[in-house]
């Protein structure tokens, strides 16, 4: 049973990160000013930015949280990006549910025995 939840979690994680990266690429290619503003503190996206990996990761996560809470204006103008951001949000929710089920199902199975 646990292997099914692990596979579910793994696939949803791939889905989540793939759609996030595609959204960043769309923003970079079509909405360059927004991309520069959104990613200025993410060092691996800007080779000349010498920020530490920790602060860069925090900036990456902060951008994801802001996209999860509200849809940016550039996404509303682009049908593909709009579809991708909603798919990405679903992927995030599925990943969270996968983590919770991976943790809670074995506990519930022991309690119900």
pLDDT-derived band at 80, boundaries 50, 70, 90: very high
Mean pLDDT, range 60-71, rounded to an integer:
88
Burial of 58 (0-12, 13-18, 19+ CB in 10 A): middle
Mean pLDDT, range 74-82, rounded to an integer:
92
Mean pLDDT, range 25-40, rounded to an integer:
84
CB 12 within 8 A of CB 90: no
CA distance 38 to 26: 13
Domain count, the chain: 1
CA distance 94 to 12: 6
CA distance 56 to 41: 6
Q: Which domain holds residue 90?
A: 2-112
pLDDT value, residue 75: 92
Residue 88 CA neighbour count, 13 Å, CB half? 23
Lowest mean pLDDT among 9-13, 24-28, 60-64: 9-13
């Amino acid at each position: 049973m646990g292997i099914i939840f692990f596979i579910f979690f793994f696939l949803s994680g791939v889905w989540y990160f793939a759609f996030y990266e595609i959204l960043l690429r769309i923003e970079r290619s079509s909405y360059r000013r927004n991309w520069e503003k959104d990613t200025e503190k993410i060092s691996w996206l800007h080779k000349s930015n010498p920020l530490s990996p920790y602060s860069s990761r925090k900036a990456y996560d902060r951008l994801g949280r802001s996209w999860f809470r509200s849809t940016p204006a550039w996404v509303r103008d682009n049908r593909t990006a709009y579809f991708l951001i909603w798919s990405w949000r679903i992927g995030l929710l599925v990943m969270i549910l996968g983590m919770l089920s991976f943790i809670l199902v074995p506990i519930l199975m022991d309690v119900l025995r």
